[in-house]
Amino acid sequence: MKEFDHQAGTRTGILLSNLGTPDAPTASALRRYLAEFLWDPRVIEMPRLPWWMILHGIILRVRPSRSAALYKKVWTSDGSPLLHIAEQQRQQIQVALGTDTPVVLGMRYGNPSIAQALTELKNQQVERLVVLPLYPQYSGATTGSTFDAVSAELQRWRWVPEVRFINTYHQHAGYIASLCESIGRHIERYGIPQKWLFSYHGTPKEYHLKGDPYFCYCQKTTQLVAERMGWSEEQYMTTFQSRFGKAEWLQPYTDMTLEHLPGQGVKSVAVICPGFSADCLETIDEIGRENKEVFMEAGGEQYHYVPALNDDISHIKALVALLEPHL
C-alpha cells in the first residue's frame, strides 16, 4: 500500500494509549508482558547488561506465576478490565468526534500495540495525528515511553504525518471537574470520611531528583481537587503506591500510611486514584483489596475506594475537550 494519497484531503486521526495488559491471566502471558514492560529503559533506568541478567535470571523466573494469580482475581468475562474499559472509552470518544476522525487504541505494552494502532490509522490515510496517552500526570516512565514507541514506529514510515502529542492534563479543568463529580457521587452514597487519600502510582525517587515532573503534577492535581471541593489541609493527603524493588520511591507510601492512620485516630478513609484513567490490577486488587486489609487490620473501621473515571460521561467529555483544540 502506498503511504500517501495525492488525491486525499487532510484527515486527523486519534491514538489513545494506556499502559497495557497481558493477553491472559497465565504465567506464560505474564512472562511475555513483563519481559516487554520491564525491559523498557524508561521504566528501569540501569545499565542494560546487569539488568538483563537480573530480569531473565531472577524476575521472569519468579514473578510471572505470582502476577498471573493476581490477574486471575480481576479478570472478567470481558477479559482484562483495563483493556475493556479503554475500548469503551475509545468507542465513546469515537461517537463524540464522528466517523470522519478515526479513533484507535494502542497499548504501550501488549496488544493491541502502538505499532498496530498507527498502521490502522495509516491505512485510513490519516495526515494529522493526535496522540493522547491516558496518563493525566506526565512521567518519563509512562508518557515519555509512549512517545518513544510512537517515534520508533513513525521512523519506519516514508511519509510522517503532522503529530500533536498531548503530554499531560493533570490540571485540565474538565478532568478536575470530572474527579470532583465522582467524589460528589461517592459522598452522596457513603458520606464524608475522616480522611481522603489521593494515591498515585509511585516512581523511584531518583527519577524525581533527575527532573521528572511527575511528583509535582500529582501534588497539583490533588491541590486543585481539594480547592474545588473546599477541603481543609487536614482532610486529605497525597500518597504513592505500587513500589517495586529495594530503592526508595516517592513517599509517603500508601500502604504504610493506611497502616498508621488508625493509630492516629483516623478510622474511616476513602482512597482516590487520579493517576489511573481506567481501573486495573493496581486499583481493583491493590487498592480495593490489599490496602483495605492493611487498614482494617490496623484498626480502621470504614474503607472505600472511589472508582477511576473509566468511561463515565463526564470523563469522556473532558477527554474530548482535551482533544478538540488539536483537531
Residue 292, Cβ neighbours under 10 Å: how many? 18
Amino acid at 170: H
Q: Which residues contact 41 (CB under 8 A, 6 or more apart)?
A: 48
> What is the rounded (10 degree) CA torsion for 252, 301, 294, 310?
-70
Annotated binding site for Fe(2+): 201, 282
Annotated binding site: 201, 282
